[in-house]
Amino acid sequence: MFVSEKAPAKINLTLDTLYKRRDGYHELEMVMTTIDLADRIDLWSRDSRRITLESSSGLVPQDERNLAYRAALLLQQRYGVRQGVHIRIDKRVPVAAGLAGGSSDAAATLRGCNKLWSLNLTLRELARLGAEIGSDVPFCVFGGTALAKGRGERITALPAPPHCWVVLAKPPRSVSTADVYQRLRIHQIKDRPRTAAIVETLKKGDYDQMIQYLGNVLEPVTMSVYPDVRLLKERILRFGVKSTLMSGSGPTIYSLVRTEAQAKRLYNSLRGFCQQVYAVRLLGR
Binding annotation for ATP: 94-104
136 tagged catalytic: yes
For helices 101-116 and 123-130, what crossing angle results, to 10°? 130
Backbone angles phi, psi at 168, to 5 degrees: -105, 140
What does the alpha-carbon distance between residue 264 and residue 73 come to, in Å, rounded to a whole number?
Answer: 41
Residues 51 to 90: which contact ligand C5P by CB under 6 A?
none
Q: Return binding residues.
A: 94-104
Active-site pick, 105, 136, 170, 233? 136
Active-site pick, 10, 91, 170, 233? 10
Q: What angle do CA 221, 214, 168 make, to 5 degrees?
A: 75
Give whichever of 28 and 141 is closer to ligand C5P, judged by the CB atom.
28
Residues 172 to 191: which contact ligand C5P by CB under 6 A?
177-178, 181
Q: Which of 119, 57, 36, 133 is nearest to 85 (CA)?
A: 119
Binding window for ligand C5P (CB under 6 A); candidates: 38-46, 133-141, 218-226, 231-239:
133-141
What does the alpha-carbon distance between residue 232 and residue 254 come to, in Å, rounded to a whole number?
Answer: 11
Least distance from C-beta 271 to ligand C5P, angstroms? 31
179 tagged catalytic: no
Q: Which of 14, 55, 135, 201 binds ligand C5P (CB under 6 A)?
A: 135
CB half-sphere exposure, 151, CA atoms < 13 A: 17
Task: Let me know how long the chain is.
Answer: 285
Least distance from C-beta 90 to ligand C5P, angstroms? 22
Q: Which residues are catalytic?
A: 10, 136
* Residues of the shown chain interacting with ligand C5P in the complex, contacts defined by CB under 6 A: 25-26, 28, 134-136, 151-152, 177-178, 181
